[in-house]
Chain A
Amino acid sequence: MSHLLREHAPITEQGWKLLDDEARERLTPALAARKLVDFSGPHGWEHSATNLGRVEEVSDAPGEGVAASQRRVLGLVELRAHFSISRAQLDDAERGAPDVDLETLDKAARRIATAENAAVFAGWGAAGIRGIAESSPHEQIKLGEDCEVYPRHIAKSVDALRSDGIDGPYGLALSPEGHRHVLETAEHGGYPLLRHLNEILGGPIVWAPGVNGGIVVSTRGGDFLFESGQDLSIGYEGHDADAVQLYLEESFSFRVATPEAAVPLPA
């Protein structure tokens, strides 16, 4: 039995399938970081740390004439987003209801995906994760709200990466607001802005809740490393007569190997 304790939940196999399918459907569009960075794993719940290949000296070695150092590792973080599902809704699903209300699950999926994106793109100091934007040595280019100038900003970012010898294809993570602006905009002559940006980048433009403005990254691989311990899963916490308490959970670490491989475009 895994620590998710799913067997203890008053949920049938069909009910679990409904919840897992819904979670997958809601998470996949929102997990922007995974569409742009290298993914390693899942290595399992027991996987606790990422090898950084580095050591630091340790003073006061317990012996004369002995030098000591200690391996540095990056501990995996665990994220949990709690939610509660009404047992009446689960019963309706068993009867074949096609419109079961899973809003609490949808919101939890959005929260955990947003947190994952924020950790990767903006960083998470308390957890020792340096984000892509804060690691970048490139001058930030303010994205602003005027979509007409986005192609110029994106082209400038791609040019900065190329000048540093960072190959493409390049991808763009855009905040939900920025993404909506881009989708809504057609340039002079009616050419969709999205397609124009795609042509400049050569890679994907992803909808990225949790991102401030936008960020252009190389997607050639080897620059940004997401290491998954336990991949996103639904676990069971408890239940009463009315509802089942569940949670979405994952463990991961993230490292930037090539800080120059991204250009931040804050809002």
Chain B
Amino acid sequence: MGFDQYHEPPEELPAETRTFARLCASLTEEAEAIGWYQQRIAIERDEAALAVMRDAQGEEFKHFSMDLEFLLRRTPLWREIAQGILFTEGDIVEHGEEAEEEAVEGEAAKGAPLAGSESLGIGGLREVTG
């Protein structure tokens, strides 16, 4: 049975977590497919076959990007960290460290609910600019 994407008993997981896990699994599969096509393209000599595989890999790029966008929309903190890393120039690791620090600190400053709190967890709503 293909339920490997669940690490915990699925019946105990909320529906949104199961959807999230499915998309994470899908993202992994698309990334794998991109890697496989990359290897096949590297060794193929037949131009027609190459054209087909390049087209297929393009599809996987699209699928991967759509999966990623879905997951980022559902996970504001992940989205905020990704915004500091994706489509930038310069040192990727440095951007990653900075983005993580800003996003995590920002989350705390915006008023993440206290542990055990029953509040709605709305907190501050000001967008971080600059």
> Does A253 sit at the interface, judged by CB under 8 A?
no
Query: How near does chain A come to B130, taking the closest CB pair, in angstroms?
Result: 8
In the bound complex, do residue B119 and residue A219 qualify as a contact, i.e. CB atoms below 8 Å apart? no
In the bound complex, do residue A39 and residue B119 qualify as a contact, i.e. CB atoms below 8 Å apart? no
Write the B87-99 contact mask toward A (1 if CB under 8 angstroms, else 0).
Answer: 0000000000000
Q: What residues of B have a CB within 8 angstroms of the CB of A230 in the complex?
A: 117, 119
Most chain A CB inside 10 Å of its own CB: which residue of B114, B120, B124: B120
Neighbour of A233 across the interface among B110, B120, B124, B129, CB < 8 A: B120
In the bound complex, do residue A34 and residue B129 qualify as a contact, i.e. CB atoms below 8 Å apart? no
Contacts known (A39-B111, A42-B111, A42-B114); A231 close to B125, Cβ less than 8 A: no
Contacts known (A41-B111, A42-B113, A42-B114); A36 close to B120, Cβ less than 8 A: no
- Interface residues in A160-174 by Cβ distance below 8 A to B read 169
| Bound form: Cα–Cα A24–B121 in Å | 8
Q: What residues of A have a CB within 8 angstroms of the CB of B117 in the complex?
A: 42, 44, 230-231, 233
> Does A157 sit at the interface, judged by CB under 8 A?
no
> Does A187 sit at the interface, judged by CB under 8 A?
no
Write the A208-246 contact mask toward B (1 if CB under 8 angstroms, else 0).
Answer: 000000000001000000101011111000000000000
* Number of interchain pairs (Cβ within 8 Å): 72
Query: How near does chain B come to A252, taking the closest CB pair, in angstroms?
Result: 11
In the bound complex, do residue A204 and residue B127 qualify as a contact, i.e. CB atoms below 8 Å apart? yes
In the bound complex, do residue A38 and residue B124 qualify as a contact, i.e. CB atoms below 8 Å apart? yes
Neighbour of A39 across the interface among B126, B127, B129, CB < 8 A: B126
> Does A4 sit at the interface, judged by CB under 8 A?
yes
> Does B76 sit at the interface, judged by CB under 8 A?
no
In the bound complex, do residue B126 and residue A219 qualify as a contact, i.e. CB atoms below 8 Å apart? yes
Contacts known (A39-B110, A219-B129, A231-B113); A34 close to B118, Cβ less than 8 A: no
| Bound form: Cα–Cα A266–B34 in Å | 58
- Interface residues in B102-118 by Cβ distance below 8 A to A read 109-111, 113-114, 117-118
In the bound complex, do residue A34 and residue B126 qualify as a contact, i.e. CB atoms below 8 Å apart? yes
> Does A259 sit at the interface, judged by CB under 8 A?
no
In the bound complex, do residue A34 and residue B125 qualify as a contact, i.e. CB atoms below 8 Å apart? yes
| Bound form: Cα–Cα A27–B122 in Å | 9
> Does A179 sit at the interface, judged by CB under 8 A?
no
In the bound complex, do residue B127 and residue A234 qualify as a contact, i.e. CB atoms below 8 Å apart? no
Q: What residues of B have a CB within 8 angstroms of the CB of A59 in the complex?
A: none
The 3 closest A-B pairs by CB, nearest first: A39-B124, A34-B125, A231-B119
B-side residues, CB < 8 A to A, are 109-111, 113-114, 117-127, 129-130
A-side residues, CB < 8 A to B, are 2, 4, 6, 20, 23-24, 27-28, 31, 34-42, 44, 169, 203-204, 219, 226, 228, 230-234
